Amino acid sequence: MQAVKRIGRYAFERFESLFDTIFGVQHNPLYHLGALGWFFYWIVAVSGIYLYIFFDTGVHQAYESVEYLTYTQWYAGGIARSLHRYASDALIIVMLLHLLREFMMDRLRGPRWFSWVIGIAILWLVFACGITGYWIVWDKLAQYVAIASSEWLDSLPLFGQSIARNFLHDSTLSGRFFSLMVFIHIAVPLILLFILWVHIQRMTQADVNPPKALALSVFAALLVLSLIYPAESQGPADLSRVTSSVGLDWFYMAVYPLIDLFSGLTVWAMAGLATVLLFILPWIPRKKTSLAVVDLENCNGCSRCALDCPFSAIAMRPRSDGSPFAQEAVVLSSKCVGCGICVGACPTATPFRRHSALIAGIELSDHPVMQLRQQVMQTSEGLTGSTRILIFNCATGPDLGALRDNATAVLTLSCIGQLPPPFLDFIITRGFAEGVLLTGCREGDCHYRLGSRWSKQRIARERDPYLRERVPRERLEIFWAGVDQSSELSSRLRAFRQRLAQLDPVRAKGRPPDPTEAAAENA
Amino acid sequence: MLKLAGQLAAFALFALAVGYFSASPQYNYMAADKALIKMNFSHAGQPTQACRKVTQAELDQLAPNMRKPMDCPRERVALLVEVKINGESKFKRAVPPSGIARDGAATVYEKFELAEGTYAVSVAMRDSRREQGYDYIMQKEVSIEAGQVLVIDFEAETGGFKFL
């Protein structure tokens, strides 16, 4: 499984690099697949509302009203119909890509199972919306879909009466059935909207709106497609004739040929098995997550951790320990993914502290800041030369083992957002290294959603906790590297070292804490 | 300029994929020169056992509100359905009643693909406890053309099988 994910991730990142070049990082559609899905949903919803105004639910009137929209009112109804269809198809594309990408990037484990599992339910609902939509047009394709779908449903031993009987003959077909289908075609998208809302509940600042330029571009593409190649019906349905050949919408109906090849129950079993497999993927194999823990003695209830948590895993509650602060941070363990971004946001996570043990208000249970300080100091001791560089990277980023040498050390964090800005100050002003290079996931695509963004903003003094002004920025380098960008990272490191070599030597301020002292604190 | 061309190419490719696969390629699920006979009906068979008069001794053992003079088992017989086309048996099956208590109607849904032409179609069904023979039989010569759908329906109230 991990090998598949490694290959998949590499493949995705190759495409992402290409798209970064074409679209720029900010507008790369592969970074906004979920948001594009929302955008297509709204196009479908708005165009659907317009179509519904003119749609008639009678057996014969349904087809006629769609024909009226398509041809007589081509300038509005026809375009709306085409946009309705094409945006629905585009929704399937981005939804499946989104699912595949999240799987390959391993973004479904731990508490992220919630969004994944809800997402699988969304798959079924989107397909139900699409199928019922094709059904109510009542053309030849609708006839095929109606008969094939009802035969498939009939294969389940759930219904007393055969549903396929409704489509046996004109005499058995009722206009009321169309009313029912239209009701379903409106009700299911409304349920879908609710489920979509649940899908993003565990995310802070969920990306539900693609960048404006990207949204306008894809809309323009669909509009041009609608004008050049408008969606049309495939001739009126006629139950006395077999529709032996139909133009399937393969985005929604790829499963239908399977129904013709195998028995209905076999296809249900295949669909059920695929769904169950998708449902259990977050737990294969099981992964232990290190949780954030709050130390109330050091928590002043500033709420920065809660604001920075990308997964709404920290709640601010009334103080419970009698201290004079109004609030305290509480980690919701069922939502915590162990990224440590909250630690990076904590103002008490400062390595300069010497008069008391270094314990931050919020810590990662398996990687406390005291241990991180010790790692920095011990690693620095092993470096030689006048251009010593400490690299901080993410556990999910590329493997940087090859970059290690006498003058370069690598410290791996859960997420780059775990690094509190005072550590950069500490390393440079206390002379533990001449330069610090921060790297992590590729630009615009943090594994933990907001880690690299918050890091950049903290260093740029746009987000609290700010990196102090006294830290010389020319001694910091940031390069967000994907797994396919190791050689670019090496080049960047060489250039950074050359730059450092031209700078005046660092004058260490203050007494660097003694590593043995820090070790004693740990003990 | 190169970036713009790349973007245009990407959006064009996306639109092309959406437009093409939204209705193509055509799916041929049945040969165009074939016709179809569909048989579909739901019908409840007779109970597997006749009603029995309950003896006074048995009634006395029941609670007053449970004392019904007749004991009628709910389970129904499976329908035995056979379709012959030009004398050749194409379908012969015992169709079980629906429901956990097996007391519901049995449903038959079957399709027969045929070439254009004239056929002697015979449909028979047994819905009683008899061991031999059928309770309903329809024999008819039908002509069907390519692409046509002929429906075999059943309504006990109107005499049994019929073509739609």
d(CA A27, CA A23): 5
What confidence score (pLDDT) does residue A522 get? 47
Cα-only R_g, chain A: 29
Residues in chain B within 8 Å Cβ distance of A25: none
Cβ separation B164–A168 shorter than 8 A: yes
pLDDT one digit per residue (tens) for chain B, 164 residues: 888 999 999 999 999 999 999 999 999 988 889 999 999 999 999 999 888 999 999 999 999 898 888 888 899 999 999 999 999 999 999 999 988 888 889 999 999 999 999 999 999 999 998 889 999 999 999 999 999 999 999 988 888 898 88
What confidence score (pLDDT) does residue A170 get? 84
pLDDT tens track for A296-310: 999 999 999 999 999
Cβ separation B149–A257 shorter than 8 A: no
pLDDT tens track for A481-519: 888 888 899 999 999 999 999 988 777 665 555 555 545
Arithmetic mean of pLDDT, A474-479: 94
Residue of B nearest to A239 (CA): B149
- The answer to whether A226 and A79 have CB atoms below 8 angstroms apart is yes
Q: Which residues contact B5 (CB under 8 A, 6 or more apart)?
A: none
Residues in chain B within 8 Å Cβ distance of A151: 109
Cβ separation B18–A225 shorter than 8 A: yes
Residues in chain A within 8 Å Cβ distance of B153: 168-169
Does residue A319 register a pLDDT over 60? yes
User: Phi and psi (nearest 5°) for A30?
Assistant: -70, -20
d(CA A354, CA A520): 12
Cβ separation A242–B34 shorter than 8 A: yes
Percent of chain A with pLDDT over 90: 76
- The answer to whether B103 and B84 have CB atoms below 8 angstroms apart is no
Arithmetic mean of pLDDT, A341-368: 90
**DSSP per residue over A190-249, as a string?**
HHHHHHHHHHTTT-TT---S--HHHHHHHHHHHHHHHHHS-----SB--TTB---EEE--
Place of tokens 């509100």: B65
d(CA A446, CA A450): 6
pLDDT tens track for A50-63: 999 999 988 889 99
Residues in chain A within 8 Å Cβ distance of B3: 21-24
Secondary structure class of A484 (helix, strand, coil):
coil
The B-side interface with A (CB below 8 A) comprises 3, 6-7, 10-12, 14-15, 17-19, 21-32, 34-36, 38, 40, 42, 98-99, 104-105, 107, 109, 147-149, 151, 153, 164
What confidence score (pLDDT) does residue A508 get? 66
Report all structural domains of chain A as residue ranges with CATH numbers, in order of start. 32-283 (1.20.810.10), 292-522 (no CATH)
CA A34 to mean position of chain CA atoms: 7
Cβ separation A241–B18 shorter than 8 A: no
Cβ separation A250–B164 shorter than 8 A: no
Q: Which residues contact A165 (CB under 8 A, 6 or more apart)?
A: A172, B40, B42, B109
Cβ separation B109–A154 shorter than 8 A: yes
What confidence score (pLDDT) does residue A371 get? 93
d(CA B117, CA B124): 22
Cβ separation A245–B29 shorter than 8 A: yes
Which residue of B20, B29, B150 is the best one to mutate when testing the A interface, meaning the one whose CB has the most A CBs within 10 A?
B29
**Nearest CB to A221; choose among B15, B27, B30:** B15
Size of interface A-B (CB pairs under 8 A): 122
Cβ separation A144–B42 shorter than 8 A: no
- The answer to whether A412 and A395 have CB atoms below 8 angstroms apart is yes
Arithmetic mean of pLDDT, A308-320: 95
pLDDT tens track for A140-192: 999 999 999 999 999 888 777 788 888 888 888 888 888 889 999 999 999 99
pLDDT tens track for A205-236: 899 999 999 999 999 999 999 999 999 999 99
Cβ separation B27–A161 shorter than 8 A: no
Q: Which residues contact B157 (CB under 8 A, 6 or more apart)?
A: none
d(CA A260, CA A264): 8
Which candidate, A115, A339, A329, places its Cα nearest to that of A206?
A115
d(CA A88, CA A208): 17
Residues in chain B within 8 Å Cβ distance of A26: none
Residues in chain B: 164
Place of tokens 């030369």: A385
Which residue of A19, A21, A22 is the best one to mutate when testing the B interface, meaning the one whose CB has the most B CBs within 10 A?
A22
What confidence score (pLDDT) does residue A509 get? 62
Cβ separation B6–A21 shorter than 8 A: yes
Nearest CA distance, A123 vs chain B (angstrom): 18
Nearest CA distance, A518 vs chain B (angstrom): 52
**DSSP per residue over chain B, as a string?**
-HHHHHHHHHHHHHHHHHHHHTT-SEEE-S-TTEEEEEEEEEE---BSS--EEPPHHHHHTS-GGG--SEE----BPPEEEEEEETTEEEEEEEEPPPSTTS-S-EEEEEEEEEESEEEEEEEEEE-SS-SSS-SEEEEEEEEE-TTBEEEEEEEGGGTEEEE-
CA A200 to mean position of chain CA atoms: 10
Q: Band of the pLDDT at A521, cuts 50, 70, 90?
A: very low
Average pLDDT taken over every residue of chain A? 91
Arithmetic mean of pLDDT, A245-267: 93
